[in-house]
Amino acid sequence: MQDQGPILQTRGLSVYYDTKKAVTDVDLDVARNRITAIIGPSGCGKSTLLRCFNRMNDLIPSARVEGQVLFDGLDLYGHDVDPTEIRYEIGMVFQRPNPFPKSIFDNVAFGPRINGFKGSIDEVVEKSLVRAALWGEVKDRLKASALSLSGGQQQRLCIARALAVEPRVILMDEPCSALDPIATLAIEELMRELSEDYSIIIVTHNMQQAARVSHYTAFLMVEEARVGFLVEFGESRQIFTNPEDERTEAYITGRFG
């Protein structure tokens, strides 16, 4: 295990749904313990790209992946790699909070339990909820249904659930788009705290959020001839004040199309 260098890398990554290409030839380095944002117009393949990192595209029968995705040097799509093992290391938070219809406790405990965790589940649940900045609000009602929480709390619960299996990377697919502005800012604050210990990749269609929250930004685009190709990648500071590519500038200043 390396301590330096990018934690995830893609080399010539392309994704097809049957014959339709969704992601074209992407080379991307995801920095360790940083937040990397993937932005781009609708249909540009951002979510598809994100789902390559934890092999969630495997669940779609028509999806086919070409190229390499390296996780600390290991090719995630290699022959003897078990997708379920990867997902313990690379977790995911979805656009609409999707807590299971179980208690708050059981939600967070789900991951460790199915993983055959032998230690103290109580400890793991508490630790995860603390790290997801939710413990204070729910510690007295862990047995209550997860669905009784507000939207923002539910999303933090989903984050706690993902943290409970001790991943190294957290993938977030538009995690705040179903939340109100205050809940959104709370999640962004949480992301910044988490980035000290985890590497985070966030897909967002909200430019300002990407600017606020990320250290690095990748801009994906779709054209008539090509779908889902990487236009520009760099430090967010640079991308949002003085991008190199005029297509990037057109997109972030809202003058696309």
Partner 1 sequence: MAVIPQTEFQRRRARRKWMGRAFHAMCLLSVCIALGMLAVLLAYLLIQGITGISWSFLTGFASRHPEQAGIKAAILGSIYVVVVAGVVSFTLGVATAVYLEEYAARSKFAKIAKINIANLAGVPSIVYGILGLQIFVHSLHLGKSVLAGGFTLALLVLPIVIVAAGEAVRAVPPSFREGSYALGATRWQVIWHIVFPLAFPGILTGVILAVSRAIGETAPLIAMGALTFVPFSPDSPLSRFTVLPIQIFNWTSRPQEGFQEAAAAGIIVLLVILLMMNAGAVILRNRFQNKWD
Partner 2 sequence: MVRADFDRNLEDLVSELFGLGEMVEKAIVKSMDALQRRDLAIAYEVVAEDDLIDEKRFELEEKCIDLIATQQPLAIDLRTLLAVLHIAVELERMGDYAEGIGKICMIIGEDEPTETPQQLDQMARMGVAMLQRSLKSLMDRDIDLANDVWDSDDEVDSLYDSVCHDIFVEMGEHPKTIEAATHFLWVAHDLERIADRATNISERVIFLVTGRIGRYKPPESTG
Alpha-helical (H) ranges within the chain are 46-53, 83-89, 104-114, 121-131, 135-138, 151-163, 181-194, 207-213, 236-241, 246-252
Q: Please, what is the minimum distance in Å from the beta carbon of residue 248 to partner 1? A: 30
The one-letter code for the residue type at 6 is P
Orientation of helix 121-131 relative to helix 151-163, angle to 10°: 130
Q: Please, what is the minimum distance in Å from the beta carbon of residue 205 to partner 2? A: 14
| C-alpha angle 245-171-252 in degrees, rounded to nearest 5 | 25
Report if residue 253 touches partner 2, rule: CB under 8 A. Answer: yes
Q: Which stretch binds partner 2 (CB under 8 A): 95-103, 121-129, 183-191, 206-214?
A: 206-214
Q: Please, what is the minimum distance in Å from the beta carbon of residue 224 to partner 1? A: 30
Report the residue number, 111 or 243, with the smaller CB distance to partner 1: 111
Q: Which stretch binds partner 2 (CB under 8 A): 106-114, 135-143, 164-172, 205-213?
A: 205-213
Q: How far is CA 180 from CA 7, 151, 176, 186, in A?
A: 32, 8, 8, 10
Binding interface with partner 2 (CB under 8 A): 207-208, 211, 240-243, 249, 252-257
Binding interface with partner 1 (CB under 8 A): 54, 56, 59, 61, 84-88, 91-92, 94, 96, 98-102, 110-111, 114-115, 145, 147, 158, 161-162, 165
